[in-house]
Structure 1
Amino acid sequence: MSLAGKTLFISGGSRGIGLAIALRAAREGANVAIAAKTAEPHPKLPGTIHTAAGQIEEAGGRALPILCDVRFEEQVEDAVAATVEAFGGIDICINNASAIHLTGTLKTDMKRFDLMHQINTRGTFLVSRACIPHLRKADNPHILNLAPPLDMKAKWFKHHVAYSIAKFGMSMCTLGMSAEFAGDGIAVNALWPLTAIDTAAVRNVLGGEAMAKRCRSPEIVADAACAIVKRPARACTGNFFIDELVLREEGVTDFSRYAPGITGPLIADFFVPDEVLAKTDTELRVMGKA
């Protein structure tokens, strides 16, 4: 199955993993709506909705840059309507927009708590809700959330409970909506990286350049995402996918191109269950440990 002519609505797709997914789909001739809140260059973050649109069109796709903050219902509804008007419908919804702040309970102010929940959990719910009426009309409709497996262990919560709740909220949207809309033939799945990914969050929040040298590129998540949304929707829903395992199912055996020049162990991402780590022979170390 090809993504040629398919329309993707991607939240937060002006940089990082969202942009990588957009470009991967564009190379197959997809239409991509980039719904993000960066319209002007940011002093610390690369890319805007306009630079992303230019890259998508250079890659062979059609692009629609939309200024949209997923915290606001009217903006999301307008963005979805603009996408349908431009491309005739929506086939795939990618919930990529996310906010991260890794602090414990006493160091997490409520403004930051609210921001993470508004973007991560509420944003995923809102964007999905707005897209579903149009997905019902699509031939092979997919919702894909960039969210972790539901691994309810205290170790994922004890150091940054507010962030973890907000991120697992996206996972619970996956669990609930996959069952709710199974009869409509809408696939709802989650995708999460096995390793940390070299993004602005890694460089600006988590570990800087030193950590980036132990990460894979966003292209591994993009390749896995596009493999998932090309699968038959009715036979592929309610899954919590891990990028490397998806690509192994697709026949990929050499992952070195996703970490060019890196020797030694990569950093395992947050929230990856122990049983998943046991399924791969990739050399990994736990984030934050030598």
Structure 2
Amino acid sequence: MTARNEAQEPHAVSAGTDGVPPLAGRTIIMSGGSRGIGLAIALRAARDGANIALMAKTGEPHPKLEGTVHTAAEQIEAAGGRALPIVGDVRNDDDVQAAVDAAVSTFGGIDIVVNNASAIDLSKTPDVDMKRYDLMADINVRGTFMLSKFSLEALKRSVNPHILTLSPPLNLAPRWAGMHLAYTMAKYGMSLTTLGLAEELKDDGIAVNSLWPATLIDTAAIRNMPGGSRMVQAARSPRIVADAAYALLIRDARSCTGNFYTDEEVLREEGLTDLTGYSLGAPEAQLVPDIFL
């Protein structure tokens, strides 16, 4: 299936009034992005001619995961963008600073930060290995905070700066903490970063928002779970999150900050009411809602 019904194309994905695509020449720095949702967001921006600095750990092929930072860069350039592949670990201070410096020196600045890198383990507390706990805390919370922090000076020089984090609304219903406490704390730490930075940076005109899928998305993280191959049949393509992210990143930064959006919400605001083209086969009523909603 195609990702969109052209007759339902949201107005946010159109070229600007001067005919130049909104993200043409704009620079994005993204954590992760070798595959899945991050790569889909990068490819959508690349269609406009965006510059994308992609920092990910996978520099060499992984036996269980498709794609590397280099294959992602090739796809970005084939889609029309400029790519800067950076092998680095979002947990490492020097790697993150080097990635920010490389993006600025290569492309002249940073307009958009996408905090995409995330680790997941849905185990209950007795079963969580503390190394996995630390991995989630370091990648999800510390990595999001650090990449955002280290990019601030460059963002302040942008005409329409955005920070977009792939994290859920802060839903404090006990259910989610009780189901997988360690992961919930790590994802909510990302969302607290959105909440705090939006307030802290509002006078600087930097938009800070979170985006979360309304349904399961077909990613390696889902496929690698027990029963994952069956679960993705009731999921949507990563392109729905990419199109929603694109619509957010071209909005005016000063009038769009401090929000926790779902992909469905964003696309419906943009006039896209028929989302069936993103489905991987299941009827809309049978799609599996994502967690935290």
**Shorter-chain TM-score category?**
over 0.9
Q: How does 1:130-169 map to 2 (within 5 A)?
A: 130-169=150-189
Q: Matched residue of 1:158: which SS?
A: helix
Equivalent in the alignment of 1:271? 292
Aligned: 1:64 with 2:78: no
| Counterpart residue type for residue 238 of structure 1 | G
- Root-mean-square deviation over aligned CA pairs: 0.9
Equivalent in the alignment of 2:258? 238
Tell me which of 86, 95, 100 is aligned to 1:75: 95
| Counterpart residue type for residue 266 of structure 1 | L
CA positional deviation for 1:260: 4.0
Return the TM-score normalized by structure 2.
0.91
What is the CA–CA distance in structure 2 between the aligned matches of 1:90 and 1:144, rounded to whole Å?
A: 13
Q: Matched residue of 1:267: which SS?
A: coil
Aligned: 1:185 with 2:233: no
Q: Matched residue of 1:144: which SS?
A: strand
Return the TM-score normalized by structure 1.
0.92
Q: Structure 1 residues 146, 206: CA separation in 2 closer, same or farther (over 3 Å shift)? A: farther
Equivalent in the alignment of 2:13? none
Equivalent in the alignment of 1:279? none
The answer (yes or no) to whether the contact 2:234–2:280 under 8 Å persists in 1 is no
CA positional deviation for 1:41: 0.5
Q: Structure 1 residues 235, 100: CA separation in 2 closer, same or farther (over 3 Å shift)? A: same
Aligned: 1:114 with 2:131: no
Q: How does 1:208-219 map to 2 (within 5 A)?
A: 208-219=228-239
The answer (yes or no) to whether the contact 2:30–2:116 under 8 Å persists in 1 is yes
CA positional deviation for 1:207: 3.4
| Counterpart residue type for residue 240 of structure 1 | F
| Counterpart residue type for residue 138 of structure 1 | S
What is the CA–CA distance in structure 2 between the aligned matches of 1:198 and 1:69, rounded to whole Å?
A: 24
What is the CA–CA distance in structure 1 between the aligned matches of 2:234 and 2:54, rounded to whole Å?
A: 29
Q: Matched residue of 1:213: which SS?
A: helix
Q: Matched residue of 2:288: which SS?
A: strand
Large movers: runs of 4+ above 4 Å: none
Q: Matched residue of 2:75: which SS?
A: helix
| Counterpart residue type for residue 165 of structure 1 | M
What is the CA–CA distance in structure 1 between the aligned matches of 2:263 and 2:281, rounded to whole Å?
A: 20
What is the CA–CA distance in structure 2 between the aligned matches of 1:192 and 1:199, rounded to whole Å?
A: 14
Q: How does 1:120-131 map to 2 (within 5 A)?
A: 120-131=140-151
Equivalent in the alignment of 1:88? 108
Q: What are the Cα deviations for residues 203-237 of structure 1, in whole angstroms up to 9, with x where unaligned? A: 00263110010000100000000100100001000
Tell me which of 150, 173, 190 is aligned to 1:170: 190
The answer (yes or no) to whether the contact 2:234–2:281 under 8 Å persists in 1 is no
CA positional deviation for 1:240: 0.3
What is the CA–CA distance in structure 1 between the aligned matches of 2:233 and 2:118, rounded to whole Å?
A: 23
Q: What are the Cα deviations for residues 102-137 of structure 1, in whole angstroms up to 9, with x where unaligned? A: 111111121111000000000000000011110000
What is the CA–CA distance in structure 1 between the aligned matches of 2:219 and 2:91, rounded to whole Å?
A: 22
CA positional deviation for 1:187: 0.4
Q: In the comparison of the two structures, how many residue pairs are matched? A: 272
Equivalent in the alignment of 1:207? 227
Which sections of structure 2, spanning at least 5 residues, go unmatched? 1-15, 17-21
The answer (yes or no) to whether the contact 2:233–2:280 under 8 Å persists in 1 is no
What is the CA–CA distance in structure 1 between the aligned matches of 2:280 and 2:39, rounded to whole Å?
A: 20
Aligned: 1:14 with 2:34: yes
The answer (yes or no) to whether the contact 2:32–2:56 under 8 Å persists in 1 is yes
| Counterpart residue type for residue 43 of structure 1 | P
CA positional deviation for 1:262: 2.5
